[in-house]
Amino acid sequence: MDEALRPTPDATWVLEHDGYNVLTESALESRFALSNGFLGVRASRAVSRGPTWVSWLGYVKWASWPRCYVAGLFDRPNTEPPVPALVPVADWSRVRIVLDGQPQLLADGKTLLGCRRLDMHRGLLLGELIHRSTNGITVEGDELRLVSLADRAAAMQILRFTLDRDGIDVKLEATFAMAGMGMEPERMEPNLGAWRAEGSGKGVAMAGHATLRVGGAVLVPERPFSLRWIWQWRSIAGQRVELDRLVAVARADMPGFDPAPVAAAALERNRVLGWRGMLAAHTTAWRERWQAGDIVIEGDEEMQRAVRFAVYHLTSAANPQDERVSVGARALTGDAYFGHVFWDTEIYLLPFYTAVWPEAARAMLMYRFHTLPAARAKAAAMGFKGALYAWESADTGEETTPARVVGPDGAMVDILTGSMEIHISADIAYAVWQYWRVTGDDAFMRDAGVEILIETARFWVSRAVAEADGARHIRHVIGPDEYHEDVDDNAYTNVLARWNLARALDAVAMLRARRPEHAAAMAVKLRLADSELDDWRDAAARIPTGLDPATGRYEQFAGYDRREPIDLRQYADRKVPIDVVLGRARTQASQVVKQADVVALIGLLPEAFPGAAAEANFRYYEPRCAHGSSLSAGMHALVAARLGDTAMALRFLRQAAEADLEPDPNSAGGIRIAGLGGVWQAVVLGFAGLDLGGEAISLKPQLPPGWRRLSFAVRWRGRALHLGITGRAVRVALTEGPATAIAIAGTTHQLSPGAALEVNVPTRVS
Ligand code: IFM
């Protein structure tokens, strides 16, 4: 086997799966998916007939779902109800092998080995196949697939195989299988295809190049159609067959723009590199990203692999070069949620990008800046001022939440999140502020961040109207706990709304002090008067929070405490979500929480929980949470770790990590990237106790049982740091940037460039 096709030897970098299981194949395709933030490809088997379904019960379920995606390529396909959705592009990884006239479908004959490996270190999908056909011919081969992190337009596939017989008529076809879904062909040439989405007018061009060598000699292909290569020869036993396929893709956002020359140029520059050059550039790019983002856990191999899996997908999902897209709930690994972007990005993913890859974080926040006009339009359409961001957002930022969907029981269910889950505006404001605090990117704050803060603050003042009791209630909302719809004064929403208003005031004051001419221009552009700021102050003080000063506990929403308490321990063995067990009506009438809600608030704004309040709130809400969302466990792990309950935190961390690593049918539609962001947060912000939001970096580590050492890298205000934590000491090295202070377990130390700081602190390892 070519060395390049061998996986990284260290098992903590590699996920391996042998075989094909109709029940779990689709989840596996998500788990092993490749992406570079622009292109995504699910890890479907190359030798296949494409989408495979199971339908003997009268409904269709996808067993295998080969899909390739291009970030930002949205259209309004035939979904019901019609909402913009990410449209798949041609599957460029499929091959067809025909032996003596018989297509080799892996369902026939015997697959002796059908192994797929995700080499996370090098960002590769590796395959190994030994298949014996029904007429006894054995095909033995390897595959390598990548989407380039060095050149996001490019992807490639390398296939190597041998046959064990002489004299077989072999036909090999390398195809680009178009997925349909309303993509109309515009241009079909031998090495290039271009399609246009019927509804949105967006376009995509794909250029391809394939070569085949048999026994070292290049074979000339037949080219009957665009992007299809067919080779035929007579086999010699043991003779090496080598297929190299390069792909280059370009997106067109406007109907008049032709993406074909861009794709053709990308193909050409990668052809010049050749597959080894492409592979080298790609693995170098991955090495650099791992240097910036790897987490090393000594003493817990399972969590080590799980954390690398999280960082692998987080790294794969982002594209710092494209401000017109952001990361959808399933990234570019599956169709669920149509590629829509939720609060997941700002609350669950941005902490990772901000600390590890600020350029990627900035691009995602710029996406929110570019979609401000749609957020303003949504607020205006609902009778409010400022900006109310879409709960589900595609390319333009308009609201794309379906108004109703078919529920699990076959009945139509109204979806209220699009109009009621308004905390999204404060979530985005929160991410803007955190990004600026951690990076010190004043230019971003000045040119984009302040405007987002102002417009989201304006929304809250207009939404929170003073009532007879003197309070400015925020009624008819859904908090993160989506089991409870149409509630009043959700604590998460209201506390973050107040915080949003306070930060908008801070931002305006800062701009006035530091850049008066810019502040003046902004005031003119946004028609911002001083009297408006008084209203912000008033709202920030009078929006109710639900805090009971006697207990320090927030009521999750008005009337929550009067709902039926349910002992979730009685349902611990359930295999389905609690709302399915209890029924929708009873769940809504109960105190069962779908996912971290007040607990998420503790994670985001610890300062709102002084003294014993964080503990009191966590101990109250944790047993009430049914974790009906993959976002929940990671946030609970983070908060439990900060509270020092490291055993519980580790339990939640394992739960969060398992979501996409176990054969969970929910990941068939793509990996749950927010849950993976939660894994990173639980480890770095939880167990390491890192806080990058203050005037100095701060660390309060408490390692969980069994962990001997935890180390990772972060960036902070133009500096790069490497931190290592053991049961007894913390070691910090400032590897880039000027000297700074760091607080470790409450004591401040000076960090100098190049010199490592070692501090003895007992960091509990119980
Ligand atoms: O944003 C989440 C929501 O909080 C719970 N349901 C799934 C959405 C997308 O991940």
Q: How far apart, in Å, are the Cα atoms of 642 and each of 129, 255, 401, 402, 760?
A: 46, 51, 34, 37, 20
Segment 658-682 shows an average pLDDT of 93
Distance from Cα 531 to the centre of ligand 1, integer Å: 37
What b-and-e string marks burial along 557-572, b requiring 16 or more CB atoms within 10 Å of the CB? bbebeebeebebeeee
Distance from Cα 657 to the centre of ligand 1, integer Å: 17
Predicted local confidence at residue 58, as pLDDT:
63
Which fold, 294-342+657-766? Answer: Maltose phosphorylase, domain 3 (2.60.420)
Indicate the helix (H) or strand (E) that contains 429.
helix 423-439
Nearest partner of 254 among 201, 301, 214, 318, judged by Cα: 201
- The angle formed by the CA atoms of residues 546, 378 and 448, to the nearest 5 degrees, is 85
Predicted local confidence at residue 464, as pLDDT:
98
Within 10 angstroms of residue 19's Cβ, the number of other Cβ atoms is 12
Distance from Cα 385 to the centre of ligand 1, integer Å: 26
| Pairing of the two strands 740-744 and 747-751 | antiparallel
Q: In angstroms, rounded to a whole number, what is the distance separating the alpha carbons of residues 90 and 93?
A: 9
Lowest mean pLDDT among 39-43, 275-279, 751-755, 761-765: 761-765
Segment 633-659 shows an average pLDDT of 97
Q: What tokens does 390 get?
A: 């879409």
Report the residue among 326, 477, 482 best suited for mutation to probe ligand 1: largest number of ligand atoms under 8 A from its CB. 482
Length of the chain measured in residues = 766
Predicted local confidence at residue 56, as pLDDT:
66
Q: In angstroms, rounded to a whole number, what is the distance separating the alpha carbons of residues 377 and 715?
A: 36
Which value, to the nearest 10 degrees, does the dihedral of the CA atoms of residues 42, 247, 233, 106 take?
0
For 266-425, strand residue ranges (E) read 295-298, 404-406, 412-414
Segment 564-572 shows an average pLDDT of 97
Cross-strand partners of 86: 74
Helices (H) and strands (E) in the chain, counts: 21, 35
Please check the confidence at residue 400 and state whether its pLDDT lies above 60.
yes
Q: In angstroms, rounded to a whole number, what is the distance separating the alpha carbons of residues 457 and 739?
A: 36
Confidence of residue 663 (pLDDT cuts 50, 70, 90): confident
Predicted local confidence at residue 48, as pLDDT:
82
Interval 232-250: pLDDT, tens: 999 999 999 999 999 999 9
Confidence of residue 62 (pLDDT cuts 50, 70, 90): confident
Distance from Cα 21 to the centre of ligand 1, integer Å: 28
CB 346 within 8 A of CB 430: yes
Q: What tokens does 679 get?
A: 């894994």
Name the residue with the closest Cα to ligand 1, atom 10.
329
Distance from Cα 430 to the centre of ligand 1, integer Å: 18
Segment 440-469 shows an average pLDDT of 98
Confidence of residue 666 (pLDDT cuts 50, 70, 90): confident
Q: How far apart, in Å, are the Cα atoms of 686 and each of 182, 469, 692?
A: 45, 40, 13
CB 564 within 8 A of CB 590: yes
Please check the confidence at residue 138 and state whether its pLDDT lies above 70.
yes
Name the residue with the closest Cα to ligand 1, atom 4.
480
Which fold, 3-285? Answer: Beta-galactosidase; Chain A, domain 5 (2.70.98)
Please check the confidence at residue 26 and state whether its pLDDT lies above 50.
yes
With a 6 Å cutoff on the Cβ, whether 342 touches ligand 1 is yes
Segment 60-69 shows an average pLDDT of 87
Distance from Cα 77 to the centre of ligand 1, integer Å: 22
The owner of tokens 């090295």 is: 733
Segment 575-586 shows an average pLDDT of 94
Name the residue with the closest Cα to ligand 1, atom 9.
329
- The angle formed by the CA atoms of residues 655, 659 and 661, to the nearest 5 degrees, is 110
Name the residue with the closest Cα to ligand 1, atom 6.
629
**Longest alpha-carbon distance in the chain:** 91
Long-range contacts at 727-731 (CB < 8 A, ≥ 24 apart):
727/703, 727/762, 727/763, 727/764, 727/765, 728/760, 728/761, 728/762, 728/763, 729/758, 729/759, 729/760, 729/761, 730/699, 730/701, 730/758, 730/759, 730/761, 730/763, 731/756, 731/757, 731/758, 731/759
Please check the confidence at residue 57 and state whether its pLDDT lies above 70.
no
The per-residue pLDDT of the chain, averaged, comes to 95
Please check the confidence at residue 401 and state whether its pLDDT lies above 70.
yes
* Residue 21 neighbours by CB under 8 Å, 6+ apart: 28, 663
Please check the confidence at residue 59 and state whether its pLDDT lies above 80.
no
Q: In angstroms, rounded to a whole number, what is the distance separating the alpha carbons of residues 561 and 591?
A: 7
Number of the ligand 1 atom closest to the C-alpha atom of 342 = 1
With a 6 Å cutoff on the Cβ, whether 329 touches ligand 1 is yes
Q: In angstroms, rounded to a whole number, what is the distance separating the alpha carbons of residues 750 and 733?
A: 11
Segment 598-610 shows an average pLDDT of 97
Segment 125-146 shows an average pLDDT of 96
| Pairing of the two strands 61-64 and 124-132 | unpaired
Q: What tokens does 130 get?
A: 């030994």
Residue predicted with more confidence, 59 or 465? 465
Q: In angstroms, rounded to a whole number, what is the distance separating the alpha carbons of residues 543 and 658?
A: 39
Segment 571-585 shows an average pLDDT of 94
* Proportion of the chain above pLDDT 90, given as a percent: 89
Report the residue among 342, 347, 478 best suited for mutation to probe ligand 1: largest number of ligand atoms under 8 A from its CB. 342
Q: Where in the chain is the domain with CATH 2.60.420.10?
A: 294-342+657-766
This prediction's pTM: 0.97
Distance from Cα 672 to the centre of ligand 1, integer Å: 9
Long-range contacts at 640-644 (CB < 8 A, ≥ 24 apart):
640/686, 641/682, 641/686, 641/687, 641/689, 641/702, 641/704, 642/603, 642/606, 642/614, 642/685, 642/686, 642/689, 642/700, 643/614, 643/615, 643/618, 644/702, 644/764
For 71-168, strand residue ranges (E) read 74-75, 85-86, 95-99, 102-103, 110-119, 124-132, 138-147, 154-163
Predicted local confidence at residue 766, as pLDDT:
46
Predicted local confidence at residue 107, as pLDDT:
77
With a 6 Å cutoff on the Cβ, whether 338 touches ligand 1 is no
Confidence of residue 60 (pLDDT cuts 50, 70, 90): low
Segment 322-333 shows an average pLDDT of 98
What b-and-e string marks burial along 234-243, b requiring 16 or more CB atoms within 10 Å of the CB? ebeeebebbb
With a 6 Å cutoff on the Cβ, whether 344 touches ligand 1 is yes
Number of the ligand 1 atom closest to the C-alpha atom of 343 = 1
Q: In angstroms, rounded to a whole number, what is the distance separating the alpha carbons of residues 241 and 218?
A: 10
Distance from Cα 347 to the centre of ligand 1, integer Å: 11
Predicted local confidence at residue 376, as pLDDT:
98
Distance from Cα 630 to the centre of ligand 1, integer Å: 8
Distance from Cα 509 to the centre of ligand 1, integer Å: 35
Please check the confidence at residue 453 and state whether its pLDDT lies above 70.
yes
Report the residue among 343, 350, 579, 629 best suited for mutation to probe ligand 1: largest number of ligand atoms under 8 A from its CB. 629
The owner of tokens 């960002």 is: 123
Q: Where in the chain is the domain with CATH 2.70.98.40?
A: 3-285
Interval 697-756: pLDDT, tens: 999 999 998 999 999 999 999 999 999 999 899 999 999 999 999 999 999 999 999 889
Predicted local confidence at residue 664, as pLDDT:
81
Q: What tokens does 337 get?
A: 């949620």
Report the residue among 631, 667, 672 best suited for mutation to probe ligand 1: largest number of ligand atoms under 8 A from its CB. 631
| Pairing of the two strands 740-744 and 697-699 | parallel
Residue predicted with more confidence, 540 or 60? 540
Q: What SS3 class is residue 759?
A: strand
Confidence of residue 49 (pLDDT cuts 50, 70, 90): confident
Q: In angstroms, rounded to a whole number, what is the distance separating the alpha carbons of residues 449 and 350?
A: 15
Q: What are phi and psi of 221, to 5 degrees?
A: -85, 160
Name the residue with the closest Cα to ligand 1, atom 7.
629
* Residue 337 neighbours by CB under 8 Å, 6+ apart: 328, 329, 330, 392, 669, 670
Segment 672-677 shows an average pLDDT of 98
Distance from Cα 344 to the centre of ligand 1, integer Å: 7
Q: In angstroms, rounded to a whole number, what is the distance separating the alpha carbons of residues 19 and 3?
A: 23
With a 6 Å cutoff on the Cβ, whether 343 touches ligand 1 is yes
Q: In angstroms, rounded to a whole number, what is the distance separating the alpha carbons of residues 487 and 361?
A: 32
Predicted local confidence at residue 407, as pLDDT:
78
Distance from Cα 337 to the centre of ligand 1, integer Å: 9
